[in-house]
Amino acid sequence: MSAQLETIEDYYKRTSRSLVKMSDADFESGKSHFNIIPRKYCSFKSPYNRRDYYKICFIIGKGTAHYGTHTLHVDRPVLFFPSPNIPYTWQCDDDFQEGYSCLFNQEFFNVNSEFNLFKKTSLFKEWSKPFVFLNEEQIELTTMYFEQMYKLNHSSYPFRCSGIKSNLASLLHLALENRVEDVSLNELPANVRLYKLFDELLNKQFPLDSPAYPLALKTASDFADHLNVHVNHLNSSVKSVTNLTTTQIIKEKMFEESKNLLKYTNWDIAQVGYTLGFEQPAHFNNFFKKHAQTSPLKFKNSF
């Protein structure tokens, strides 16, 4: 797996794309970011990297996709939902290239409740099939959803953000409807099966609803015990699929949830920390500062 990680800023520098998007024209930590770009004359080859952002491509045109260890030759319209943790690249095989690409960061995916359902599905997961081939009716619907998002993203309509989210959610539903042939759990390699079980168990714990029900599984050992495997086996399986440690994934999920709780609840800092499994407020403060470079109190007050 590639050690390179392309950020959204790297993407714009590489493609010289405009920064037209729903949020502020910067990449500050915690900012929600979305953009949509037509694929016409998309003739360059993208680097074989992992990304720190999500991307959905509506590809019309022939090309070759290298995704992880797999290669796929595309000769008909397809939706591409790559996992950010899997390195991938696309190379055009002819000059006719149309469609759209939209990209958004983790913050955009987390702060909008419309997308909570999709976090529990196979979309964007390391073990799922990222390509959804489309029939004629689905091509028309997909074109409509992308055209509406593109129009709204360049408009002054005061509720354009809501309209974009609605169309994006419809697009994700269309993809899920078409995933009946997705890889079943029993067909997956053992390490991927274990990662999938870990991922489902982790996501089932969120969102956190009340300080009365604090996070139950918060360490790699907790998950290993629940899955009846040795912690070293869990760690090696997760690392082989995601190139991240089990602890990194858990901590990142806890950090994203801590931001949501600080922003959208009236809980005090100690309650947020306790709900996330920190018995001492100082431990939660240190954890949050390490990830956000600011204190939880300053973060909460900024909203």
The pLDDT confidence band at residue 180, using thresholds 50, 70 and 90, is very low
The full DSSP string for 107-174 is HHHHH-GGGTGGGGSSTT-TTS--EEE--HHHHHHHHHHHHHHHHHHTS--TTHHHHHHHHHHHHHHH
Contacting residues for 104 by C-beta, under 8 A, at least 6 apart: 32, 33, 34, 35, 53, 54
The pLDDT confidence band at residue 41, using thresholds 50, 70 and 90, is low
Reading the block at residue 170, the tokens are: 């419809």
pLDDT value at residue 17? 59
Average pLDDT, the chain: 86
**Which pLDDT tens digit goes with each residue over 202-222?**
988 888 888 989 999 999 999
pLDDT value at residue 127? 82
* Whether the Cβ atoms of residue 100 and residue 80 lie closer than 8 Å to each other: no
User: Which percentage of the chain shows pLDDT scores above 70?
Assistant: 89
pLDDT value at residue 8? 85
pLDDT value at residue 43? 56
pLDDT value at residue 44? 57
Strands (E), the chain: 5-6, 34-38, 50-51, 54-60, 63-67, 70-74, 78-80, 88-92, 98-104, 131-133
By DSSP bridging, strand 54-60 and strand 98-104 are antiparallel
pTM equals: 0.73
pLDDT value at residue 184? 52
Q: What number is the average pLDDT over the span 241-260? A: 92
Determine the 3-state secondary structure of 40 from DSSP: coil
- Compare 233 and 106 and report the one with higher pLDDT: 233
- Does 225 score more than 60 pLDDT? yes
**Which pLDDT tens digit goes with each residue over 128-143?**
889 999 999 999 999 9
pLDDT value at residue 81? 94
- Does 114 score more than 90 pLDDT? no
- Does 302 score more than 80 pLDDT? yes
The pLDDT confidence band at residue 42, using thresholds 50, 70 and 90, is low
pLDDT value at residue 28? 53
- Does 146 score more than 90 pLDDT? yes
At the topology level, CATH places domain 185-301 in Arc Repressor Mutant, subunit A (1.10.10)
Task: Report how far apart the first and last C-alpha atoms of the chain are (Å, whole number).
Answer: 38
**Which pLDDT tens digit goes with each residue over 48-72?**
778 889 999 999 999 999 888 788 8
- Does 1 score more than 50 pLDDT? no
pLDDT value at residue 138? 95
Write down the domain spans for the chain. 5-177, 185-301
For 5-177, CATH gives 2.60.120
**Which pLDDT tens digit goes with each residue over 286-301?**
999 999 999 999 999 9
